[in-house]
Amino acid sequence: MSTALIDAFVEARLPAWQSLFQALVGQRSVFEQEHGIVDLVTRQIAAAGVEVVRVPHTRAALESLPGAQPPISGVDGRASLVAHIAGAGSGPSLAFNAHLDIVPEGDTSAWTHPPFAAEIDYARGLLYGRGAMDDKAGVTIALAVLETLVHAGHRLGGDVIFQFVLEDERTGNGSLLCLASAPRPDAAVIIDGTRPDNAITGHAGQLQFGIRVHGRPASVSVSHVGVNAADRAARLVVRLADAVSLLNATRSEPWTRFPSPFQLVTQGLSACGAPLTVPEYAEAVCYMTFPPPWTLDRARQFLQADVAAFAREYQLCPSPELQFTHFAVEPVESDATSLAAVLQECARAEGYGRIDIGPSTGTSDLRHFAAAGIPCLLYGPGRGFNPHRPDEHYTLADLPRMIRVFVDLASRWCGTAEHAGRDCG
């Protein structure tokens, strides 16, 4: 199909895809409650005439995979989805990956647009809702690319694989399962996490951990004879955050583009004690990010040393306990030079400027593709308001442009049926 015909098809289908986008945002697809959106996407793919493969999220399957992260859900009927448009076998394959899950909406009173109403501000061209940017726009774009490639009617040289995954926002286990049980692509693009002028090929390391602090009970009227576990825990997490922040003075290229690739965030802090009694126990949950050359082992050792020093300073016995049983991934970098070059061409053809390609302090399922030796980058879904906050929104003008970029990317990367595609190394 010529560029003009693709443009005409995208323009004609845009109202339907915009309605699909609203329907996707209307699904509250938080962890373990994704069944509705999985059914919706399944129907959409089937309507395009493409077979849908369900990849079940079972405990047995995940416990057999070394890269699986906790928590492993026991809820029945959960599945990621894979769709496959077969090529002629003369070019490399390409996967488009988008995630179906979202983070919770938080305090709904902080929203000026209801989080699941998918309201459109037509004057500003914005669609509001939890997941609008992260990643229902990406899902909409992937489904539109699939439909456009099917409608184009000509066979590409390489296969195009579509992965619609669960748990990107929690564990990353959806993409891990898809790679373990479905066709492995020669390269992959995750449609998530960036705007038109930015693409991501690497991530900082991530470490979530727990802390348990022991105190000594005493009446609150004579608290000085006890040890307040809540007070000590609060002091400890502030100390750790300050110590980690100081590490940013050691950051090197390409991480100097960020003010603080070393971060420590307190995500939870709680204490318990009898009535009118100094708390005997306190617990905290913290999240640390760190760039290379740091590793998980080095981050854990750093934290353990600082906790030990804190225990000596405050004469705590026993020392606070660190619990490294939460989410933990090493820094990752994907060698996606060839794929990035093709993406630059496609973005330029659409009228976007040069894409800045580099690392991110966040995390994504890119790590699974990199671990499998598959070149991968994150790009799209377009402009909008930063996710995970009230009034998340997406700029609708980017929807057709991103669809055209990714259709072009599939065509350039996979090649035509008559000619071999490019080297995917």
- Domain 3-203+331-414 fold is Aminopeptidase (3.40.630)
Domain 205-329 -> CATH class = alpha beta
Six token digits for residue 127: 């669609």
pLDDT value of position 424: 40
pLDDT digits (tens, 9 = 90+) for 330-381: 999 999 999 999 999 999 999 999 999 999 999 999 999 999 999 999 999 9
* Residues in a beta bridge with 188: 95, 376
Distances (CA, A) of 327 to 203, 267, 290: 15, 13, 14
289 and 262 in contact (C-beta within 8 Å)? yes
Six token digits for residue 329: 């991934």
Distance, first Cα to last Cα, the chain = 27
Instruction: Identify the burial level of 380 via C-beta atoms within 10 angstroms of its C-beta, where 0-12 means exposed, 13-18 middle and 19 or more buried.
Output: buried
pLDDT value of position 160: 98
Whole-model pTM above 0.85?
A: yes
- Tell me the three state secondary structure of residue 346: helix
pLDDT value of position 182: 75
pLDDT value of position 422: 42
Domain boundaries, the chain: 3-203+331-414, 205-329
Distance separating alpha carbons of residues 264 and 248, to the nearest angstrom: 11
240 and 305 in contact (C-beta within 8 Å)? no
Q: Per-residue b/e over 177-208, b at no fewer than 16 CB within 10 Å?
A: bbbbebeebbbbbbbbbbbbeebbbbbbbbbb
pLDDT digits (tens, 9 = 90+) for 137-149: 999 999 999 999 9
Residues 6+ apart with CB under 8 A from 334: 201, 202, 366, 369, 370, 374, 375, 376, 377
pLDDT digits (tens, 9 = 90+) for 277-335: 999 999 999 999 999 999 999 999 999 999 999 999 999 999 999 999 999 999 999 99
Is the confidence at residue 420, as pLDDT, over 60? no
What confidence tier does 419 reach under pLDDT thresholds 50, 70, 90? very low
